[in-house]
Amino acid sequence: MSARAFIITAFLTVSCFLNARAYPDNLLHKSYALQFFAVDSLYNVIGRLDSAQSLYELRGLEKWAGDNGDKQLKYALKLKEYLFWSRFKGPQAASKIEEELPGVIKEIRENKLPELQAEGLQMLGDYYWRNPKTFSKAFELSLEANNIYSRLTSSQFPPKYSYLYNLGLCYYRFKDYDAALPIFLEAKKTGTRYLHPTPADLLNTIGLCYRRSGVYDSAEHYFLEAYNLSKQNNQKVWIGITGGNLGITYYLEKRYKEAIPLLEEDIETGLAHNKLNNNSAKSIAVLGDVYLELNDKKKGMALLLQANQMIIDGAKWDQYELLEFIYPLLAKGYAVTGNYPVAFNYEDSARRVSDSSSAEKNALILVSVQQKINLEKREADAQKREADAQKRDREIKIQVLIWAFLLVSITLLLVAIFFVLRNYRNQKKTNALLSREKKRSEDLLLNILPSEVADELKDKGTAEARYFDPVTVMFTDFVNFTTASEQMNPQQLIDELHTCFKAFDEITRKYNIEKIKTIGDAYLAVGGLPVADPMHAQRVVHAALDINEFMQQRRRQLGDKTFEIRIGIHSGSVVAGIVGVIKFAYDIWGDAVNIAARMEQGGEAGRVNISQDTYELVKEQYKCTYRGELSAKNKGELSMYFVDGVN
């Protein structure tokens, strides 16, 4: 039966129930999909009644389904009763959801009704998503539901489209766009369009994932598709939203003339719908920056001030994403117009907002880590209590045996000793297993974070971001990556990257340098943190020479089937700390990172290119050749040197 037929059946069911107050016998013993649409429609009608009448009608329908032997329909209506309770706050509603619903889900599983089991798990997960302290439990329930409905088609399980979208939003809210994107794309393939979200909403969210990941061409594609679909369906609000996001994408690509009409359309539509909505505020700020770039300072500043006034009028001080977006543009506007004190204030405010946002994300990370630690501790305590109880029982039995059978033959005494020794060996095995599991957990944490940061996280429960000055940053990139990749199949390409990065890891470890991350075919490392090192510059330069020598040897062996490398180095200050919520990582920020990247870009294949600041630290130990200056945004001209070798 088609989705259209499902909806017609649902309409007839509701009409029959409302007009004749007759139970819908046509629903008994039908497929889950048909019952889903009909039950959902019934609930939407019954839910408009007062609370007592709503519960009365739902329980009457549930009893009718049970009396007719339709367990699937009975439990479908039972879940709607808990959905009704989830609309309320207070101890009674919480008791219904938290204490009773898990038992109902267990009954559904025992009756082998997987579609309803997934529906119940998703409902319970949605309830726990309301409280940041229970995000871990909510995420676990959402994934458990996904494990069930992922094996079903959308025709078998109509809410699959909505559930996939909600699961993608779980990752999206934690800014894990790489994890969210494939889930949103899978939702797009399901073909169900009768439930939330609208197609334009989904396409717009996919575009946001690509844009926030820096993939502007794909973002433009999905925003344009959403924009055209909204126009086709005459959805005025979505025309403004999707057009505005497309305009912001053009702005990021510096396509200002294409961005202006889309941003203006978004502003007009958004303000007509809600004078203080965030999308319009962002579009107004972006349009202001566009006019600044086009040298219309008066118009640009007027728009930026209008966006700021929307923040003030709406008291949006706790909406960190909006403030992080608009405050840097305001700082830029005041700087361009020469009002540097006010520009500095807004830049400082943007930095403090970003710190607050990061603190909020880190708090969520630590909640997850702390829950994991508490779970491991509870499991270890339970195992210890069980082991202690077993030990006490054994000791009592041994004492009884000793006093009761003191005069029994030596054979019984030997048997008792045998049992004691065997239990002792078992206890040793248990203790060894606990030690191994604890070490494995600690090793896993050390593989993600530097040891000092991991120790701080375990001791204090937090790990603060820190300022390090001075340090030396190394940035490498493969010059002929595309050419070399054409000489290999995908597996050979991955194997070669693994071989090279593994060698880089060994070299950085040799010189006590902290690897930060790999970005595609680039490699980022830093010397002098998290523990200060007076020889940070010398160690990084020596490591760079070793990496360059390794790549040259590999080039001589493999020719075009490996890569040429450029290496850039700069010494300065950075901020380092933990970022992210899902798959969190240790990262660094600051001008030193950007200048190291510029040194790499301004270098040559097979050479180590260092900045003036690094040269001043290593010139006594290494032979260097001055090679001119490189222009850098906001930094002027930067002197560069090639490192020729050790003095």
For residue 184 the two structure tokens come to: 């949103």
Report pLDDT digits (tens) over 118-153: 999 999 998 998 887 888 888 889 999 999 999 999
**3-class secondary structure, 632:** strand
Q: If pLDDT is split at 50, 70 and 90, which confidence band does 8 have?
A: very low
Query: Under a CB-based contact definition with an 8 Å cutoff, are residues 582 and 179 in contact?
Result: yes
Q: Say if residue 446 is in the same domain as residue 481.
A: no
Query: Under a CB-based contact definition with an 8 Å cutoff, are residues 572 and 590 in contact?
Result: yes
Q: If pLDDT is split at 50, 70 and 90, which confidence band does 5 have?
A: very low
Amino acid 303 reads L
User: How large is the greatest C-alpha to C-alpha distance in the chain, in angstroms?
Assistant: 107
Query: Under a CB-based contact definition with an 8 Å cutoff, are residues 355 and 326 in contact?
Result: no
pLDDT higher than threshold 70 for residue 171? yes
Give me the mean pLDDT over the 263-290 stretch: 85
Give me the mean pLDDT over the 386-407 stretch: 76
Q: Say if residue 504 is in the same domain as residue 639.
A: yes
Could you give the angle at the alpha carbon of 155 between the alpha carbons of 153 and 157, nearest 5°?
70
- How many alpha carbons lie under 13 Å from residue 428 in its C-beta half-sphere? 6
What is the C-alpha to C-alpha distance for residues 569 and 246, in angstroms, rounded to an integer? 37
Is residue 392 included in any domain, yes or no? yes
Q: Say if residue 362 is in the same domain as residue 419.
A: yes
Q: Say if residue 418 is in the same domain as residue 537.
A: no
Give me the mean pLDDT over the 459-466 stretch: 74
- Residue 13: how many other CB atoms lie within 10 Å: 22
What is the C-alpha to C-alpha distance for residues 17 and 1, in angstroms, rounded to an integer? 22
What range does the domain containing 406 cover?
Answer: 358-452
The phi, psi pair for 502, rounded to 5°, reads -65, -40
Is residue 263 included in any domain, yes or no? no
The phi, psi pair for 18, rounded to 5°, reads -75, -45
What is the C-alpha to C-alpha distance for residues 298 and 179, in angstroms, rounded to an integer? 42
- CATH code for the domain of 628: 3.30.70.1230
What is the C-alpha to C-alpha distance for residues 611 and 616, in angstroms, rounded to an integer? 9
Q: Say if residue 440 is in the same domain as residue 476.
A: no
- Residue 214: how many other CB atoms lie within 10 Å: 9
The phi, psi pair for 219, rounded to 5°, reads -60, -45
Match 């302290």 to its residue by tokens. Answer: 133
Q: Say if residue 556 is in the same domain as residue 591.
A: yes
Q: Say if residue 409 is in the same domain as residue 494.
A: no
What is the C-alpha to C-alpha distance for residues 268 and 5, in angstroms, rounded to an integer? 40
Query: Under a CB-based contact definition with an 8 Å cutoff, are residues 269 and 260 in contact?
Result: no
pLDDT higher than threshold 60 for residue 442? yes
Is residue 515 included in any domain, yes or no? yes
- Residue 213: how many other CB atoms lie within 10 Å: 15
Domain count, the chain: 2
Helix (H) or strand (E) holding 387: helix 340-404
Last-in-domain residue among 399, 431, 452: 452
For residue 612 the two structure tokens come to: 């003036």
**3-class secondary structure, 397:** helix
Is residue 324 included in any domain, yes or no? no
Q: Tell me how far CA of residue 454 lies from CA of 13, 443, 473, 636, in angstroms.
A: 59, 10, 22, 39
What is the C-alpha to C-alpha distance for residues 100 and 291, in angstroms, rounded to an integer? 59
CA nearest 607: which of 641, 642, 639?
Answer: 642
What is the C-alpha to C-alpha distance for residues 97 and 77, in angstroms, rounded to an integer? 15
**3-class secondary structure, 636:** strand
Last-in-domain residue among 423, 452, 481: 452
Pairing mode, if any, of strands 522-527 and 514-519?
antiparallel
Write down the pTM of the prediction: 0.54
Report pLDDT digits (tens) over 324-349: 888 899 988 888 888 888 878 888 77
What is the C-alpha to C-alpha distance for residues 635 and 612, in angstroms, rounded to an integer? 13
Report pLDDT digits (tens) over 61-117: 999 999 999 999 999 999 998 888 888 888 888 888 889 999 999 999 999 999 999
Percent of the chain having pLDDT more than 90? 43
Give me the mean pLDDT over the 584-603 stretch: 90
**3-class secondary structure, 366:** helix
Amino acid 204 reads N
Amino acid 127 reads Y
Query: Under a CB-based contact definition with an 8 Å cutoff, are residues 327 and 346 in contact?
Result: yes
Pairing mode, if any, of strands 608-611 and 565-579?
parallel
3-state secondary structure 18-50: HHHCCCCHHHCCCCHHHHHHHHHHHHHHHCCCC
Query: Under a CB-based contact definition with an 8 Å cutoff, are residues 475 and 522 in contact?
Result: yes
Q: Say if residue 541 is in the same domain as residue 448.
A: no
What is the C-alpha to C-alpha distance for residues 10 and 401, in angstroms, rounded to an integer? 73
Q: If pLDDT is split at 50, 70 and 90, which confidence band does 196 have?
A: confident
Is residue 327 included in any domain, yes or no? no
Q: Say if residue 432 is in the same domain as residue 493.
A: no
Is residue 13 included in any domain, yes or no? no
What is the C-alpha to C-alpha distance for residues 327 and 509, in angstroms, rounded to an integer? 40
For residue 40 the two structure tokens come to: 């959902």
Q: Is 277 left (phi over 0), alpha (psi -120 to 50) or beta?
A: beta
Q: Say if residue 422 is in the same domain as residue 537.
A: no
Report pLDDT digits (tens) over 516-543: 999 888 999 999 998 899 999 999 999 9
pLDDT higher than threshold 80 for residue 269? yes
Give me the mean pLDDT over the 260-273 stretch: 87
Last-in-domain residue among 421, 452, 483: 452
Q: Say if residue 562 is in the same domain as residue 433.
A: no
Q: If pLDDT is split at 50, 70 and 90, which confidence band does 249 have?
A: very high
Residue 11 has what pLDDT? 43
Is residue 592 included in any domain, yes or no? yes
Is residue 151 included in any domain, yes or no? no
Match 């560069």 to its residue by tokens. Answer: 640
What is the C-alpha to C-alpha distance for residues 334 and 343, in angstroms, rounded to an integer? 5
Q: Say if residue 619 is in the same domain as residue 516.
A: yes
Residue 380 has what pLDDT? 54
Query: Under a CB-based contact definition with an 8 Å cutoff, are residues 474 and 540 in contact?
Result: yes
Dihedral sign (CA 292, 296, 301, 307):
negative
Helix (H) or strand (E) holding 570: strand 565-579
